[in-house]
A and B are shown apart, each in its own frame.
Chain A
């Protein structure tokens, strides 16, 4: 299996601009338009998170796994539209797990890419301001949070994510784990997520997932987390 660790950015940009032009053209021509989900571009190169996360992992994770969630979400959404327009309630209900799974996969990965950044671009630099205060209020210190977060990650039985979330009712932050691609929606607001699916680390860490959980903090983008915190 050959691996291209660097993306061809101009080509991707061209593809994106074609996509957005065609969706604008679509807008003008129809009375009802559903925007398709698209794979977001990364703001760093696939190899830029090494050695915490290998370029090969990032390439597959972004260009294959995330792309599959995007494609399957669009497919399920299209079927949902059809089921709605034909008033087929049974099909609408049957499609919900697919929307949850693939829509969740799209949301989770999009947030994840944003809350990572290379070390030389601020990866791992501790949070400041209100988020820092909220973390200290709940956990005492950033190190204590990381330790509890890693315990939560290690305790996931199967595929899933651990998130630092903000309770929209109380404003406080806490750690929550979610199964599979269940997204952080409803009462809680996602602040920072770490992917604990095996595809997120297996090529580099195999069964030693604790090492991945330890290393990933070197490339966490706390600035992105601060922006999500309200």
Chain B
């Protein structure tokens, strides 16, 4: 830990050293923030860096200090707002994409730009207070970007598990069959208390080879990052994702969503690594 502190202080830009006070207490306070700063640096590097990094690396490099944060933009849907009907209504898709997702993008850009200035002025308290906004809005942007791409019209040939031969085999091996997998996934989705997401993930093993599958849930907009998991398929369980059409009948939403899963996208994510999952995010920069 002492080494990390040392490294960290050396990587601090000198820009603010003129203002820095030699007061020991002040320095101690500053040092106390360092572990959190390292976490923030990891997430910020991830979101700010033009090349997404793999999250399995154990060495945390010095934070990149770009002059300007990247501006993310709302990704276009690969289908029309009404293309998922009758399973998800046009009104839901319109609001969900053009309002909710747009708000996450706007707030992420604002948070990253504040974070960039907090980095350049060495304002550690501001950096820390921005972490949650980056996680929430960055998560919202990541999750929705993944979600749109893992849906498709029910009439599409991609909307059956046959479009994901390798993933389909792994699902059948893991859960005993497609029906058993869907049942387990539905149970996980319906067990979320409050807002959140259900994910089919590929857990990368230590050799970096294709790992096992698992179902995980994340709360609010927490993204699937930092645990060596690749999101293969996500389902939004926020009420805004279904309420105008299904109201309190979320079990029906969860049943119907299987009709519009884009299994070809899921197969690509399963066969690819982290980079494949994040390609949609890169495209929105």
Contacts and interface: CB of A to CB of B under 8 A. Distances in A.
Interface string A148-177: 000000000111100000000000000000
B194 interface: yes
Interface stretch (A17-25, A79-87, A113-121, A202-210): A202-210
A1 B95 CA distance: 21
Nearest to A207: B99
A202 B243 contact: yes
Contacts of A207: 95, 99-100, 103, 240
B240 A60 contact: no
Given A207-B95, A207-B100, A158 B195 contact: yes
Contacts of A202: 239-240, 243-244
Given A158-B219, A179-B194, A198 B243 contact: yes
Interface in A173-230: 179-181, 197-199, 202-203, 206-207
Contacts of B244: 202-203, 206
B253 to A, nearest CB: 13
Contact of B193 (A64, A65, A68, A97): A97
B247 A197 contact: no
A68 B250 CA distance: 12
Interface in B15-42: none
Nearest to B245: A1
A91 B103 CA distance: 41
Interface string B217-245: 00111000000000000000011100110
A181 B193 contact: yes
Contacts of B240: 198, 202, 206-207
A139 interface: no
Contacts of A159: 194-195, 239
Given A68-B248, A203-B244, A158 B99 contact: no
A30 B99 CA distance: 56
Nearest to B193: A101
A1 B247 contact: yes
B93 to A, nearest CB: 13
Contacts of A68: 248
B248 A65 contact: yes
Interface residues of B, number: 20
B100 A158 contact: no
B136 interface: yes
B239 A64 contact: no
B187 interface: no
A196 to B, nearest CB: 10
B132 interface: yes
Given A64-B248, A157-B136, A198-B238, A180 B193 contact: yes
Contacts of B100: 207
Given A157-B132, A157-B220, A197-B239, A206 B247 contact: no
B194 A60 contact: no
A73 to B, nearest CB: 13
B194 A180 contact: yes
A158 B248 contact: no
A86 to B, nearest CB: 24
Interface in A105-130: none
B243 A203 contact: yes
Contacts of B219: 158
Nearest to A61: B248
Contacts of A101: 193
A92 to B, nearest CB: 18
Q: Which of B221, B240, B244 has the most CB of A within 10 A?
A: B240
B196 interface: yes
Interface in A1-52: 1
A65 B249 CA distance: 10
Nearest to B100: A207
Among B99, B195, B219, B221, the one with the most A-chain Cβ atoms within 10 Å of its Cβ is B195
B260 to A, nearest CB: 21
A202 to B, nearest CB: 5
Contacts of B136: 157
Contacts of A160: 194
Interface of B: 95, 99-100, 103, 132, 136, 193-196, 219-221, 238-240, 243-244, 247-248
9 contacts: A60-B248, A65-B248, A157-B221, A158-B220, A159-B194, A180-B193, A198-B195, A198-B238, A207-B103
Given A157-B136, A197-B239, 16 more contacts: A64-B248, A68-B248, A158-B194, A158-B195, A158-B219, A159-B194, A159-B195, A159-B239, A160-B194, A181-B193, A198-B238, A203-B247, A206-B95, A206-B99, A206-B244, A207-B99
